[in-house]
Every structure is written in structure tokens, then in C-alpha cells.
């Protein structure tokens, strides 16, 4: 059971091998991600833009490590706030388009809508859309029921993520409980809720690498996308 209480300072944590920067060792919550974007906006010069893939990677890694913008720039002083903001906006626009495609399918779960929006929705929900495609091909009359059942599963995973984040927002680092809950959210080795096939990312910070790559049109191992 999640316990919404702040933990007392804990012993020094073992730094996770996948984390490029040392920090508190758990991902940013939705509230912290909003603050991250606000701070980038404050620091970014007008019309700098021109984000590179390395800028996108830096933003994703910072959010996965739970760094603030100032902590990120302190650890990697060569990064430029304007390009980081552009990187975030580019990725979030692609994410939002895919999320909207999924909601369109849920709102009107017929073959026409699925054909129109399925490819876009598959960038965030590859395994789910693959399953629905099989239903559409083999038992079209069941498509609406299958979409409804999947929508319930998607909401269930999103609910679990929100409950974990609610607790994380109450913790004060260093916190062993925070590290433990952070791994329940994102752990590239042992899995996590944001890696679940039925998880629909509602923000950039919860994009796992394969979904981020799919949004950017990069070549992705299909076995990783559906796992």
C-alpha cells in the first residue's frame, strides 16, 4: 500500500546504472514536469529552437532522473535552454497527436476511425493497436467491445501511475521509499508502470525510450515495443 508520508533522510542510495546524472534517483512527477517547462521558458531566448536528438535525450534523461532545469544545466553546462525547450515541445506535440488519435478511437470505435487513427495511436500503444487490428480483421463486430475493454485497462494503468506520483510529491529526498516508488514508475531493467503495454503516456517525462523513438520516427525493435 502506498504511504503518503515524507520519509526521513535515508542512507546514501546506489546510483542506478542507467541514470546519466546523479540526483535523488526517482523520476519527475507531473507537477515537477510542469515546473521544469516553466523554468525552461524563463531561461530560453526567443526563437532559439533547432533542437537536436541529443537535446531531446537530455530532456528525457533529466526528467527520468528527477532533475530540475538548474540542476541539469549545472551538470551539463553546454546545454542551451532554448534548444531544450524546443526539444520538449517537439516531442510533446508528437505525443499529444498520438494520444488524441487513441481518444478518437475510443470515442468512435468503428473501422473507419480505427483505419484513420490507428497508425498514429500505435506510436504510444503499439501492442494494443496490434491487438485491435487483429480483432478488426478477424471479428470486426467485436471491435467496439475490444476498444472499450482496452480503454478500461489503459485507465487502470494511468490510475496506478497517478497514485504513485501523488505519494512521490509528498516525499523529501533523500528517500529510500522514493527510490522504490520511482522504480515502480520507470525501470529499464526490471520494467515499470510506464513501460506497461497498456500505459498511455500523458506527458513527455513518462515516455520510455522505445515510445520516444517511435514518436520521432526512428527505427524501433518491434519486440521491444510490444514488451
Taking only the tens place, the pLDDT of each residue in 60-80 is 999 999 999 999 999 999 999
Burial of 1 (0-12, 13-18, 19+ CB in 10 A): exposed
Neighbours of 81 (CB within 10 A): 18
Taking only the tens place, the pLDDT of each residue in 104-155 is 999 999 999 999 999 999 999 999 999 999 999 999 999 999 999 999 999 9
Q: Distance between CA 223 and CA 220 in Å, rounded?
A: 9
Q: Residue 40 in contact with residue 69, Cβ under 8 Å?
A: yes
Max intra-chain CA distance, the chain? 57
- State how far Cα 44 lies from the chain centre: 23
Query: Among candidates 128, 134, 127, which has minimal Cα distance to 151?
Result: 128
Taking only the tens place, the pLDDT of each residue in 79-113 is 999 999 999 999 999 999 999 999 999 999 999 99
pLDDT at 23: 85
Q: Residue 13 in contact with residue 179, Cβ under 8 Å?
A: yes
Query: Among candidates 21, 30, 24, 32, which has minimal Cα distance to 57?
Result: 21
Total-model pTM: 0.88
Burial of 12 (0-12, 13-18, 19+ CB in 10 A): exposed
Collect all residues with Cβ–Cβ distance below 8 Å to 137 and sequence separation of at least 6: none
Taking only the tens place, the pLDDT of each residue in 157-216 is 999 999 999 999 999 999 999 999 999 999 988 789 999 999 999 999 999 999 999 999
Q: Distance between CA 90 and CA 129 in Å, rounded?
A: 24
Phi and psi, residue 110, nearest 5°:
-120, 175
Q: Residue 186 in contact with residue 33, Cβ under 8 Å?
A: no
Amino acid at each position: 500500500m502506498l504511504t503518503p508520508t515524507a520519509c526521513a533522510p535515508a542512507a546514501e542510495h546506489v546510483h542506478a546504472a542507467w541514470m546519466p546524472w546523479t540526483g535523488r534517483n526517482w523520476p519527475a512527477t507531473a507537477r515537477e514536469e510542469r515546473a521544469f517547462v516553466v523554468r525552461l521558458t524563463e531561461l530560453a531566448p526567443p526563437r532559439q529552437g533547432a533542437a537536436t536528438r541529443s537535446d531531446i535525450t537530455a530532456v528525457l534523461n533529466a526528467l527520468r532522473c528527477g532533475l530540475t532545469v538548474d540542476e541539469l544545466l549545472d551538470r551539463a553546462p553546454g546545454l542551451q535552454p532554448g534548444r531544450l525547450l524546443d526539444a520538449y515541445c517537439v516531442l510533446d506535440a508528437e505525443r499529444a497527436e498520438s494520444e488524441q488519435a487513441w481518444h478518437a478511437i475510443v470515442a468512435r470505435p468503428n473501422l473507419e476511425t480505427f483505419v484513420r487513427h490507428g497508425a498514429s495511436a500505435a506510436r504510444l500503444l503499439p501492442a494494443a493497436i496490434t491487438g485491435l487490428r487483429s480483432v478488426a480483421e478477424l471479428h470486426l463486430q467485436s471491435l467496439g467491445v475490444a476498444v472499450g475493454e482496452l480503454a478500461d485497462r489503459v485507465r487502470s494503468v494511468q490510475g496506478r501511475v497517478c497514485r504513485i506520483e501523488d505519494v512521490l510529491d509528498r516525499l523529501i529526498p533523500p528517500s529510500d521509499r522514493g527510490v522504490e516508488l520511482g522504480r515502480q514508475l520507470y525501470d529499464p531493467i526490471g520494467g515499470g508502470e510506464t513501460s506497461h503495454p497498456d500505459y498511455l503516456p500523458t506527458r513527455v517525462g513518462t515516455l520510455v525510450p522505445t515510445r520516444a523513438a517511435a514518436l520521432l520516427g526512428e527505427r524501433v525493435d518491434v519486440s521491444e515495443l510490444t514488451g
